[in-house]
Amino acid sequence: MYICSMHIEILFEDDFILIVNKPNNLLIHNSYYARNIKEPTLLDLLLEQFNHNYFPVHRLDRKTSGVILLAKQKENVSIFQELFNSNLIEKTYLGIVRGFLNDSIKIESPVKNPDTKIYKNAETFCKPLLTKSLDIAVKPFETSRYSLVTLQPSTGRMHQLRIHMNKISHPIVGDYKYGDRFHNRMFEDNFNCKNLFLHAYTLKLTHPITNKTIKIEADLPKDWYTIFTNFDWKL
């Protein structure tokens, strides 16, 4: 049994599902792609916290924080997955990205499947919310500029949002795979923020069993409030 190192915040619960706020840098479950990571997973921590096994309905990257939906009974997973497959769930992410994004944009760029190596269609709608310019030099410029954006994927490819934002030259801050190392380092050095600034902020669905409309909002991690304070941003 693991010694629980963190308390998982519960956002919603009924007889069929549990919705939680996943912290940064936490795997949902063990997988081939993360076989070298030996830390407890979200499922491990939930088992310890509630003495119950839960079954994830959708994916969220290890480095991404925010809303994740789990079924309480394995036989109900497919019922909720069908909502995702049919695009009947509204998912909104928040991201802090490099540069000024002035206009909303639909990104339609295929993303490669890591198993088959085949590119699959992927679509993300990106909307700018706020911008900030800092008198902090980031190579090769004498200043640095950032945008707060909402991201709404209509497909669910692995690393889709991170790949898409890199594709339009507005990589997400704190992304060490697809991002800009100079801006990542600036956030570390100046704000002591090392995590990925991608957060699954809201989830809205019509419950397929109870037929109730559920809208969930997940509070932001601590790093976000550090940046909001320094940037004078408010949601």
DSSP, collapsed to helix, strand or coil, labels residue 202 as strand
- pLDDT band (50, 70, 90) for residue 38: low
What pLDDT is attached to residue 117? 85
| Mean pLDDT rounded to a whole number for the chain | 93
Is the CB of residue 196 less than 8 Å from the CB of residue 135?
no
Percent of the chain with pLDDT over 70: 94
**Which residues share a beta bridge with 206?**
213
What pLDDT is attached to residue 227? 98
- Cα–Cα distance for residue pair 31/27, rounded to 1 Å: 9
pLDDT over 90 (residue 87): no
What pLDDT is attached to residue 235? 87
Q: Which domains does the chain have, with CATH numbers?
A: 9-231 (3.30.2350.10)
- pLDDT band (50, 70, 90) for residue 2: very low
Which tokens go with 35? 């076989």
- Cα–Cα distance for residue pair 210/206, rounded to 1 Å: 8
- Least confident span in 13-22, 34-43, 94-103, 174-183: 34-43
H helices of the chain, in order, are: 42-50, 77-85, 160-167, 181-191, 222-231
Residue 103 among the catalytic residues = no
Segment 5-36, tens digit of pLDDT: 678 999 999 999 999 999 999 999 876 555 56
DSSP, collapsed to helix, strand or coil, labels residue 194 as coil
- Cα–Cα distance for residue pair 11/65, rounded to 1 Å: 13
Segment 192-235, tens digit of pLDDT: 999 999 999 999 999 999 999 999 999 999 999 999 999 999 98
Q: In sequence order, which residues have a C-beta less than 8 Å from that of residue 71 and are 6 or more positions away? A: 16, 17, 54, 55, 56, 57, 77, 79, 80
pLDDT over 90 (residue 185): yes
Name the catalytic one among 14, 15, 61, 115: 61
- Least confident span in 22-36, 147-161, 176-190, 198-212: 22-36
- Cα–Cα distance for residue pair 22/194, rounded to 1 Å: 17
What pLDDT is attached to residue 39? 82
